[in-house]
């Protein structure tokens, strides 16, 4: 949950010496290792001294990080074998030493083994999928990686890969058989099981190739070190995250619904990223040199060395194409006639209108119900004229009132939260005035955030729609509406259950003064917990709707209570 900058300034000042310490005169890989060491130590100090409820960073903590990092690298448990894990065991109790300023050794040691095993895994998958499977043979396969161990040896690893590919092929074969049953097209209806089995294997091979190409092409050693940092921060609680600079930019873009790019929609096709369409008025269209179906071969930041993006996912390519305000990006394009062209553009501000609040009217007979969809509690604090969700929702309410609606439904399903300040302002649109949420820090000091405006924009019938993925700010809003008996909350058995407040703490020297981004990214850290005005926490328990409408997500373990490292409920 994002808030305003006051505390950030204090923390940035307190850790300023550590930020400056990142500047090093070492060269090459030594410089990278030294920077990693200082970054990790700085994050460790932050976690231990500033987290709302810090866990002790000791050997027990180290073992948890060791286990989680290796499992995140190999969720299927068929890349590493047990001897690999055994060879890394000496680092099982040294992660805490690394966090406390020791040399960074665990990730480099893991990287050497992982790189070798990934290449072997790709070859084994291709070999297994080159031959038909015999589904008449009765075999047991456990799809949950948490319930299986790493293979004892090479032969067992190969068998685990075979069973995994067989299971994935069977899933796709069943889908293809169902499509055959429903089809009215003879060419599809007449396909034999043998043909469908081959098609299913080809689909799995394509998916695996895409997965491992991304793993080998777009994920570098730095990415896995960043993953390591995230495993460490996530051991404190699920919402304390490390953002490297490019991910921090993506986080800011989500919060503000604006970014700096070229104004082109992209799609992935056969391992290439292609231009799908251009948005009029933006750099790509203005250049006059880019057209739909152009293939993007490389992306360069100004005059820097271009990055070959063959095999990239669209999301990974987008991170390279977007950037800071007024900076140059160069695309190496393959045109439809086969010619190669390099096009340079200056990034421009792109506004994502689909991320803002919007409304509609649902009419049945003489009744008119206003419907407002809010995807996030967004706020652009960097731009005085930037969008705020409370102001946008207010405008939608005014439109609906002008249409004389009989009631309003506010849809917060899948709304994962956002700005704490904005949710307070938004509740104020519907109540007279009063407290909205209580916030408590690690010292036990509580403060109350209130709506002090006695005016009410809308006092008519109100319903709030929620589901399992309505979290954080969405839960504050729903709880306040419920506690004030201002409206009816409708949805699944409970909301997500995130009752914690996060703020971002930057690391390193600034690289973009307009956005506040820094060279080593930032940590989104849990500083506080919030409580509804009746004193109860939404942490773990969420908000229980007045009218419960269960849905299919009930069967998924996706709520806060399903994560073993979540902070406990209290009141």
Residues noted as catalytic:
472, 483, 498
- Report the DSSP pairing between strands 500-506 and 522-531: antiparallel
| CA gap 395, 384 in Å, rounded | 18
Sign of CA dihedral 107, 108, 110, 115: positive
Three-state SS letters, 221-246 = HHHHHHHHHHHHHHCCCCCCEEECHH
How many of the other CB atoms lie within 10 Å of CB of 118? 16
- Token representation of residue 273: 């990223």
Closest to 358 in 3D by CA, of 370, 369, 372, 376: 372
8 A C-beta contact, residue 43 and residue 232 = yes
Q: Tokens 């408590």: give the residue.
A: 440
8 A C-beta contact, residue 244 and residue 521 = yes
Helical residues (DSSP H) of 74-105, grouped into ranges: 82-88, 95-99
Determine the Cα angle at 9 with ends 95 and 497, to 5°.
60
| CA gap 61, 259 in Å, rounded | 38
Distance of CA 7 to the CA centre of its chain: 24
8 A C-beta contact, residue 545 and residue 452 = no
8 A C-beta contact, residue 239 and residue 254 = no
Q: How far apart are the first and last CA of the chain?
A: 20
| CA gap 277, 292 in Å, rounded | 5
| CA gap 485, 396 in Å, rounded | 22
8 A C-beta contact, residue 368 and residue 361 = yes
Residue 188 CA: distances (Å) to CA of 247, 259, 300, 312? 44, 45, 45, 32
């Amino acid at each position: 949950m994002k808030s305003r900058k006051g505390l950030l300034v204090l923390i940035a000042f307190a850790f300023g010496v550590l930020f400056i310490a990142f500047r090093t005169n070492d060269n090459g890989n030594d410089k990278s290792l030294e920077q990693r060491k200082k970054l990790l130590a700085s994050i460790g100090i932050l976690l231990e001294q500033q987290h709302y409820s810090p866990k002790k960073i000791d050997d027990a903590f180290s073992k948890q990080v060791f286990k989680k990092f290796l499992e995140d690298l190999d969720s299927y448990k068929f890349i590493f074998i047990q001897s690999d894990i055994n060879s890394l065991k000496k680092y099982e109790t040294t992660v805490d030493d690394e966090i406390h300023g020791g040399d960074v050794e665990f990730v480099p040691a893991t990287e050497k083994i992982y790189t070798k095993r990934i290449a072997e895994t790709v070859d084994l998958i291709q070999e297994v999928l080159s031959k038909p499977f015999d589904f008449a043979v009765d075999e047991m396969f456990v799809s949950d990686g948490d319930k299986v161990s790493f293979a004892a040896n090479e032969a067992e690893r190969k068998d685990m890969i075979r069973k995994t590919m067989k299971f994935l092929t069977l899933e796709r074969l069943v889908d293809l058989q169902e499509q055959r049953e429903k089809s009215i097209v003879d060419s599809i209806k007449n396909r034999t099981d043998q043909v469908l089995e081959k098609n299913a294997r080809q689909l799995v091979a394509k998916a695996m190739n895409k997965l491992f190409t991304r793993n080998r092409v777009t994920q570098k050693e730095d990415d896995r070190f960043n993953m390591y940092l995230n495993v460490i921060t996530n051991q404190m609680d699920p919402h304390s995250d490390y953002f490297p600079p490019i991910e921090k930019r993506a986080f800011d873009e989500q919060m503000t619904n604006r970014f700096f790019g070229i104004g082109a929609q992209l799609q992935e096709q056969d391992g290439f990223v292609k231009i799908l369409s251009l948005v009029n008025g933006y750099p790509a269209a203005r250049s006059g040199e880019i057209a739909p179906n152009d293939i993007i071969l490389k992306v360069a930041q100004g005059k820097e060395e271009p990055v070959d993006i063959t095999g990239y996912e669209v999301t990974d390519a987008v991170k390279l194409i977007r950037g800071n305000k007024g900076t140059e990006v160069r695309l190496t394009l393959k045109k439809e006639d086969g010619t190669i062209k390099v096009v340079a553009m200056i990034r421009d501000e792109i506004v994502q209108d689909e991320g803002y609040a919007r409304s509609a009217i649902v009419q049945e007979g003489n009744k008119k119900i206003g419907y407002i969809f809010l995807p996030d509690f967004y706020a652009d604090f960097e731009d005085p004229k930037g969008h705020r969700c409370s102001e946008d929702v207010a405008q939608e309410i005014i439109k609906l009132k002008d249409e004389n609606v009989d009631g309003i439904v506010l849809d917060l399903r899948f709304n994962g939260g956002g700005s704490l300040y904005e949710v307070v302002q938004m509740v104020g649109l519907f109540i007279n005035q009063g407290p909205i949420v209580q916030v408590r820090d690690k010292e036990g000091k509580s403060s109350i955030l209130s709506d002090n405006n006695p005016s009410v924009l809308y006092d008519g019938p109100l319903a709030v729609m929620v589901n399992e993925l309505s979290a954080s700010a969405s839960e504050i809003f729903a709880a306040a509406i419920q506690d004030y008996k201002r409206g009816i909350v409708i949805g699944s058995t409970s909301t997500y259950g995130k009752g914690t407040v996060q703020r971002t703490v930057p690391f390193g020297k600034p690289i973009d003064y307009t956005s506040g981004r820094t060279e080593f990214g930032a940590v989104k850290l849990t500083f506080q917990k919030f409580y509804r005005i009746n004193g109860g926490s939404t942490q773990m328990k969420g908000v229980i709707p007045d009218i419960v409408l269960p849905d299919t997500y009930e069967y998924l373990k996706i709520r806060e209570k399903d994560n073993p490292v979540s902070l406990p409920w209290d009141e």
